[in-house]
Chains A and B, each alone.
Chain A
Amino acid sequence: MYKRFKKLFYVFLLSQPPIARLRQWRNIISILLIMSIPYPALAADNKSNDFILKTELADSAGNEAAVHLKPITIIGIDSNQPTQSNTSILKGRLLHLQRSDTLGRTLEKELGVSNASFGPGVGIPVIRGLTGSRIRMLQSGIGSHDAASLSPDHAVAIDPLFAEEITIIRGPETVRYGGNAIGGVVDVKDHRIPERAPKNLVSGSVESRYDTNGNGTNSAVKLNLGKDWLAFNLGGFYRSRGDIRIPGKAIDEHFIAQQYGLTDIQNISGKIPNTDSESNGGFAGISWLGDTAMAGMSISHVDNRYGVPRGSHGLDPNHLGGLELILPKLNDLTGFEDIFGPQALFPNIRLAMRQTRYDFKSEWYEPIRGIERIGFRYGLVDYQHTEIQGGLPFTKFKNEAGEGRFEIDHHFFPRLTGTFGVQWIGRNFSALGVETFVPETKQHSLGFYTTQQYTWNRWIVSGGVRIEQSRVNPKASELRLRGSALPPIPLPDELKYQTTSFSSSLQRNLVDDLTMTISFNQGKRSPDIQELLSLGPHLSIRSFDIGNVQLKNETMNMVDLGFDWKKERFSLRVNGYYNRTDDFIFQRNTGLVYEIDNEVIRQQCVSKAECVSIFAYDQQDAEFIGYESEFGATLYKLPQGDLLLTLFSDYVRGRFVRGMHGDVPRMPPLRYGIELGLDNSRWNSALRYTRAEAQNHPGENETITKGYHLLTVSADYQMKMGKWADVWLFAKGTNLLNEEIRSSVSFLRNFAPEPGRSFVLGLRATF
């Protein structure tokens, strides 16, 4: 492994050009540095054709200038640079318009991205059919470190209300972000740590919106203060919503009976009870901004309280252990409402989540010749959520994590730029209470990586390698299954993993405006805690999980071919990919069941409602094939504005390679659609129709989902309020046809469909 790394390094050394050409290529190096692939956000900036060009006018050694000038920053545009077609960035007007309660819902329109809901309180992005431990959720480059990968009812601890920019990388990004980015990355940039001083002493934004579905309100305020070398950022938000409205019944009784054997269901039409949520949070950031360096930190806190639809954690809502037979006989329950009232009998499951983050960032620009930047980033995250049943605490999940990154960007040679970095993560995880299917565990990882990029005429060759070591230390020496005669199960003291990941890509400007990119990534992921050490009933997904401490690294081999064509009147973007994952970790149905009430493992039980299936983590090769495509054109240039047409489609098919070639569960369906827009400089409007076909490959123990038609409309208007502020008014309508939409990527789709028709009105003022 180290030999390979060394060899790669020598290849780069051999490409070194003559020293004499160094100076004339300096500016080009700077441009390429900014566009190098380790910086997805910046690389994605290219798509929008604005980026920051740094250049040093005053030269140093070898140029005896009479006057020495300080470095300055020039904002420039370069429309000729190729782009990464599997990377996209959402920001500005589109981000504000698409912004929703959860990250998944905010991004669900993006190609190749779906929303794994668990009721409206949870929305986790799914990229090319992958989520959980395979997709890294980042907040300005540092992980969210919540419990979202552990269970699908756990929300991502990143609120999109503060997002200034969201970068989506489809495909492995393990070289820079580690094994958990094997399926992609979602990086939410919120600029909590100021990176530049505001133009005015005080600037900021205020945003408020109202959603008719569930009376949802969102309000956020952001202030940027400072001058010269000191800058402060402050922000706060509040969000609340009631139960979401849906067409038809909440629970799909047919599929519930088929999947879980639940037949005596208390169903409700028109809304999903216990889907209300309330969230608030804030942050404060401060930065020192020097001429050649900066340092800053921020502290942020978020509280999120949400309910999950009934039927997930609990069993049959009518199952009260016999109490339901006695209560009808009782004439007077006065004084006993607390134990016989509706909330006591049919307790809601609610999650109270809170996270406090401390983020640090420091950068030093061009400290020495040939070094473009030295960067340090560290995040300390204190996360916990309590699952509450009937108003009483049930289980508390805690995650205390620290993640750091140290990077050096170089431009030693004219055509070659790159980064050397080290990343480390330490994590203490615990789940205390009733549903403790994963033991207290410590996890540490350390990764060294480099990415290099070589540019020649219309070609860009990129490559990267990462070597990572990680270890998992369960706190307990053995696991016991509560109330069971199962003998104690001894655990290893430590589990160690080592991975080496590679990335490579070749970009070529075939003709002006047309770029082809072909990339090959081999990313490795070491098994996550729950995959190794689970033991016990996992009620949110109605399963009993058994971990496997001998799981191997999962290896994803992805080939991605993309074309990006941009002309004045139209644009086309197409990506096709094939992903062969060796030792894909999944949950295999053992054919056994666990009877929750009696806490007994059986081969079969009389009442399916009282039993959950036993799944064991296992590995099998899997393959994924899919595409994303989008065609945009300006149909007419009218006096009122431009009439725009967009056609789009995405698809992914995942299945296991051996055996019965079973389907990988919870894959998104084929989507395609059309959008018509009318835009001018002050206002925009769009009507978008999406057709999602039925998902007839749901996977083992899953049910199919029907196709649906999704019609959305949006309009926004920008106006100046003197010289003090810009006001942006917007409105959008979602699911105008009020379709019953059950998402194939959602664990809870048969209990909770997606929201029905809704209209959102809002305004945003920047000053």
Chain B
Amino acid sequence: MSRPVLYSLVAALMFNHSVFAQHLDVEVWGQGNALFAGYCRTPGVVGCDLNGLTQTLQLPAGTLPLENATGRLIFLADFRDFSGGDFKTKNPGFQSAQNALLPNELLSYRALGTLKYWDPVLSAWGNPPYGIQVRLFGGLEASRQVISDYSQCAGQLFCFSEGGLGVDGSTVFSADGILGSPELVVDVTNNNGILHTHLSFFLENWQGEIGGPVGAYLVTMQLISNARYFPSEPFLILFNAGLDENAFATALLALIGEPSNRDPIPQPVIPVSIPGDVDLDGDVDRIDVALILLAAQNNEPLQPENARFDVNGDGIIDRADASLAKALCTLRLCNIPTDAPATALNVATVYDEKTGMLSLNDIQVNDQHYRAQLQLQDEALFVLATVQLDKSRYVSPARYDVESALLEIPAVFTNGKFYKAVLRNIGDFKFRLEQLEETTVAFE
């Protein structure tokens, strides 16, 4: 899990936006076996300030960054922001609020499509200048090339592919499509399903030299999870490379088309479950305290959107709320990484009690790996709903033995607990639950 980096929150909530480059973070959540990506699902969450965005870019009121042609969400970022320099950026960030994803759920991106370029001279979208590309460095630790068996790494505790650390750890968005590794890790959620992380985007030429023409660049990607069958809908990331706000707004409006009053994907508001966690990053730290102090100093009235700032629930936001938040902050320096989770890192199987769907994200049958879904039909009887050939994604997948017709699942995650389960194939695509016992250690 990442330690929150809250430049975006600070920029979005507290300051004159012209000082900072505009960007929207990608908020991620899961529902059943599907993954979703969007913005402003959780009010007040880090990196969500649509009003500030429209004001800064002087967009028509009600404008939402959605591509007109496809309806895909557009996330904004700027190569000139303070994190990287002129041609590098860590934005947009990726985040999930508490319980929006499973504990220890591994999130990856999948690059799609081709790189598009907004030429400010022509005021038109098209292919980028020859050789210009956007390179994205994702996380490598869950790469398919990672080998955690030292006997295959010449003794090194882990390595990437064939004993070395040589790995193609980047994704290139070019006019010709996606080069390098199309899928790399975003991050893994913590025990509360919280994630906030940033990747590393570079504008460069094909020789790897940093830099590129002024304009705007557009890439497409979607998010995938190791615990869910369906990836998110594809979305777009629009990078500003040296345009002023008006020119950037023009590039954006060319994608958006006519002002739209469409709402983002409607989702229920996730309640704040940690008192004092006003930036919704899963812990109470010094930044929460500082934000409450600032709100109190500005005499901000209590509204539904900032109700979490009223930590003591007395109806006003004041220094007493900040003091209470400070008391609730028990972390080292009010900002400490937690110890390694004791639970399994990769939960290959998830059971949704509401829908009765058992999602097997990795089943090994001999040397083949599959994904499947089993629908609960009776008290202990499941029916195979879907099955699809897939790649190996987990340390400990479920295993199906053809001869015995037994499906052994080392860990099923449901309702905050892990269970070890055995199902028997009784024919006609039906499986009967034969063993179920709670386990604390997912992989032994």
Contacts and interface: CB of A to CB of B under 8 A. Distances in A.
Interface stretch (B333-341, B359-367, B405-413): B333-341
A561 interface: no
B241 to A, nearest CB: 14
B165 A591 contact: yes
Contacts of A488: 148, 345, 395, 443
Contacts of B345: 480, 485, 487-488
Interface centre among A323, A600, A607 (most CB of B within 10 A): A600
B2 A592 contact: no
Contacts of B286: 323, 339-340, 344
Interface stretch (B30-38, B196-204, B267-275, B308-316): B196-204
Given A330-B290, A336-B326, A483 B190 contact: yes
Contacts of A722: none
A485 B142 CA distance: 6
Contacts of A434: 332, 336-337
Interface stretch (B63-71, B150-158, B380-388, B428-436): B150-158
A600 B187 contact: yes
Contact of B137 (A340, A347, A535, A602): A602
Nearest to A324: B10
Interface stretch (B81-89, B118-126, B248-256, B416-424): B81-89
A659 interface: no
Given A487-B148, A606-B90, A600 B2 contact: yes
Interface in A595-643: 597-607, 614, 616-618
Contact of A606 (B2, B202, B297): B202
Given A548-B155, A606-B88, A339 B329 contact: yes
A601 B287 contact: no
Contacts of B335: 321
Contacts of A606: 83-85, 88-90, 198, 200-202
B146 interface: yes
Contacts of B206: none
Main secondary structure of the interface of A (DSSP, over half): loop
A533 B157 CA distance: 8
A127 interface: no
B185 A485 contact: yes
A335 B1 CA distance: 31
Given A483-B340, A546-B158, A600-B185, A592 B140 contact: yes
B154 A602 contact: no
A607 B346 CA distance: 29
Given A327-B290, A614-B165, A598 B3 contact: yes
Contacts of B157: 479, 489, 491, 533-535, 546-549
A394 B155 CA distance: 30
Interface string A546-562: 11111100000000000
Contacts of A534: 157
Nearest to B201: A606
B72 interface: no
A482 B138 CA distance: 18
A6 to B, nearest CB: 34
B1 A597 contact: no
Contacts of B115: none
A392 B155 CA distance: 36
Interface residues of B, number: 75
A481 B340 contact: yes
A394 B332 contact: yes
A326 B297 CA distance: 12
A599 B337 contact: yes
Contacts of B242: none
Contact of A605 (B14, B106, B200, B322): B200
Contact of B106 (A330, A485, A546, A618): A485
B399 interface: no
Interface in A386-400: 389-390, 392, 394
Contacts of B201: 606
B43 interface: no
A614 B157 CA distance: 13
Contacts of B106: 485
Contacts of B336: 434
A600 B395 CA distance: 18
B6 interface: yes
Given A392-B333, A598-B197, A606-B201, A486 B84 contact: no
A18 interface: no
B337 A592 contact: no
B74 interface: no
A291 B411 CA distance: 72
Given A347-B333, A592-B169, A484 B140 contact: no
Contacts of B150: 489-490, 492, 548-550
Given A321-B4, A550-B155, A486 B148 contact: yes
Given A321-B5, A614-B165, A330 B326 contact: no
B33 to A, nearest CB: 20
Contacts of A535: 157-158
B188 interface: yes
B148 A607 contact: no
B323 interface: yes
Nearest to B319: A335
Given A487-B146, A605-B137, A326 B290 contact: yes
A1 B90 CA distance: 59
B9 interface: yes
A568 interface: no
Interface string A115-143: 00000000000000000000000000000
B149 interface: yes
Interface string B47-63: 00000000000000000
A452 B262 CA distance: 92
A489 B297 contact: no
Nearest to A588: B165
A332 interface: yes
A488 to B, nearest CB: 7
Contact of A483 (B159, B167, B202, B337): B337
B200 A602 contact: yes
Contacts of B187: 485, 598-600
Contacts of A323: 6, 286-287, 290
Interface string A329-364: 111110110011000100100000000000000000
A591 B142 CA distance: 18
B287 A599 contact: no
Interface in B201-229: 201-202
B317 interface: no
A483 B140 CA distance: 13
**Interchain residue pairs A-B with the least CB separation, the first 8:** A550-B155, A603-B169, A486-B141, A606-B84, A322-B6, A590-B165, A485-B142, A598-B2
14 contacts: A323-B290, A326-B290, A326-B294, A327-B290, A333-B293, A336-B326, A434-B336, A485-B142, A598-B198, A599-B187, A604-B202, A605-B137, A607-B90, A616-B156
Given A347-B333, A490-B150, A604-B202, 11 more contacts: A330-B297, A335-B323, A389-B333, A485-B345, A533-B157, A547-B156, A549-B150, A598-B3, A598-B5, A606-B84, A607-B84
